[in-house]
Structure 1
Amino acid sequence: MIDTRLAGKVALITGANHGIGAATAIALAAEGAAVFVTYKRLGPLNHPAYPETYDRARGGGADDVVQRIREAGGTAESAEADLADPATPKVLFDQAEKAFGPVQILVNNASGWLSDTFTPAERDSFGRPIRPVDAETHDRQFAVDVRAPALLISEFARRHIERGASWGRIVGLTSGGPEGFPTEVSYGAAKAAQENYTMSAAHELGPYGVTANMVYPPVTDTGWINEEVEKAARTHGPLRSVGQPEDVAEVITFLASHQGRRVTAQTVRMY
């Protein structure tokens, strides 16, 4: 049995009411960490290309996640928060510290995902609606996927250094990144920026005992996978399969663990 040495640690996880965030909260809690779950209820996409269950998951709270953790003997609290508000990161850290003590593990999982393009196309290859890149798509995407993670990392770093701590973990989620992301161009660009902030954090905070990494999940069934997407996923990549949120949560847990102590400034690509 591997001792991850996460018992008693405190984790703050964004976007954790469903999908990868929820799976990560459950996985870290199973290793003994106290988890503070944040989320934002989102309106339905209302499009046949997206399963109805996905709309329900996006629009739900985190009560089920917290209850599942507690029933398994773990420790969890939750708070709804709008990461597009620059005041939110400080509030979340205050709330997490009040509940459990100083945050030692930060997982930047939440996304303001949208689909936009430089072309005149109105649908992507899976029939999902897309829109032209404009100030609104840029600002909405970058507020949640770039500014919020940057401010959360900054708040994490400030408090970590001020209290003289010597152990910390930062993990972000990415997709697309520097190589571009056709039909999701603002999303890809935002993730590339988040990667850069995280790599800078790895180098600047390493002397303070903090590791910082990004995880690039495979196509993961967080509820949005329809038949066309699944078929495409099974024809590409070395494993030719669709991942599950728990698969990604296991990698995040490793990076947060004692076993991952020498892994930093990396983007871990999953297939």
Structure 2
Amino acid sequence: MNTNNNLKLAGKTALVTGASRGIGAAIAHRLASEGAAVAITYSSSPEKAEEVVQSIKSAGGKAFAIKADATDAEATVQAVAQTVKTFGGIDILVNNAGYLSVAPLEQFTLADFDRSVAINVRSVFVAAQEAAKHMKEGGRIINIGSTNADRMPFAGGGVYAMSKSALVGLVKGLARDLGPRGITINNVQPGPVDTDMNPASGPFAETLKGLMALPRYGHIDEIAAMVSYLASPEAGFVTGSSLTIDGGFAA
């Protein structure tokens, strides 16, 4: 862990949802490396979550994991409460937990529709509402959206695109609620990123790269870097925005 006394997130506390692997884990590591104490949530991978926690601790940081299913509003509320109780407050909330279901319109089930909205939209609102109660001036709320809010170039992804588009409107509105308190809220909208769920060597990779200005997948650390910027004092004048990091997918 960086021992520089000028760590930009020193003294800050963060909660990152869905951070047992992939983009969420990279964000947790990045925030911790910059001095933040980090709580992470997971729904079904306690071993993976503990690996993230131990990795942060072994580098000299502070971290712990909370089991919280993003479809359960009360579990989300309790995750915020546990973060506040353990670390004495919450300065940064990263709503990373997400759900993707792709199917033709005639085959898309209401159960998958409801789960998409519950995780990708409702849990974001619940977490933001609860975290904001505890945030002071300089608080940061960052949602992991998707470039598909702006461009969905293939069939079957309408509900996913809808759920991520909802975050665009949500942050514009909540920026007005939170602005007078000096709290910012923004979206980060990744394009294709190399993760276990969507590997750069996967069956859709070549098709997706063909839609991009930069013909490669993004790296999880590149997404974490943008989140780090929004979490930092440097981004104090950025709110209500959706920052796209997609290699030109939506260009």
Check whether TM > 0.5: yes
How far apart, in 1, do the equivalents of 2:119 and 2:48 lie? 18
CA contact (8 A) 1:137 1:186 kept: no
Worse overlay, 243-252 or 196-205: 196-205
SS of the equivalent of 1:87 reads: helix
In structure 2, runs of 5+ residues without a counterpart are none
Q: Any residues of structure 2 matched to 1:171-250 within 5 Å, and which?
A: 171-175=142-146, 176-177=148-149, 179-180=151-152, 182-224=155-197, 225=199, 226-250=201-225
Q: Which amino acid aligns with 2:212?
A: G
The root-mean-square deviation of aligned C-alpha atoms, in Å, is: 2.0
What's the counterpart of residue 124 of structure 1?
none
How far apart, in 2, do the equivalents of 1:3 and 1:247 lie? 22
How far apart, in 1, do the equivalents of 2:149 and 2:6 lie? 33
How far apart, in 2, do the equivalents of 1:260 and 1:207 lie? 16
Alpha-carbon shift at residue 10 of structure 1 (Å): 0.5
Residue of structure 1 aligned with 2:91, choices 72, 87, 104: 104
Q: Is 1:68 matched up with 2:41? A: no
SS of the equivalent of 2:194 reads: coil
In structure 1, runs of 5+ residues without a counterpart are 42-57, 120-131
1:220-260 C-alpha deviation (Å, 9 max, x unpaired): 01113244322223323221111111110000000101111
How far apart, in 2, do the equivalents of 1:262 and 1:2 lie? 24
Percent identity over the alignment is 33
How far apart, in 2, do the equivalents of 1:88 and 1:38 lie? 10
Q: Which amino acid aligns with 2:141?
A: I
What's the counterpart of residue 111 of structure 2?
136
Q: Is 1:18 matched up with 2:5? A: no
What's the counterpart of residue 86 of structure 1?
73
How far apart, in 2, do the equivalents of 1:78 and 1:108 lie? 15
1:146-177 C-alpha deviation (Å, 9 max, x unpaired): 111001111122233xxxx2110011111212
How far apart, in 2, do the equivalents of 1:61 and 1:193 lie? 30
Q: How many residues align?
A: 239
Moved >3 Å (runs of 4+): 1-4, 58-61, 178-182
Alpha-carbon shift at residue 178 of structure 1 (Å): 5.3
CA contact (8 A) 2:14 2:37 kept: yes
CA contact (8 A) 1:108 1:173 kept: yes
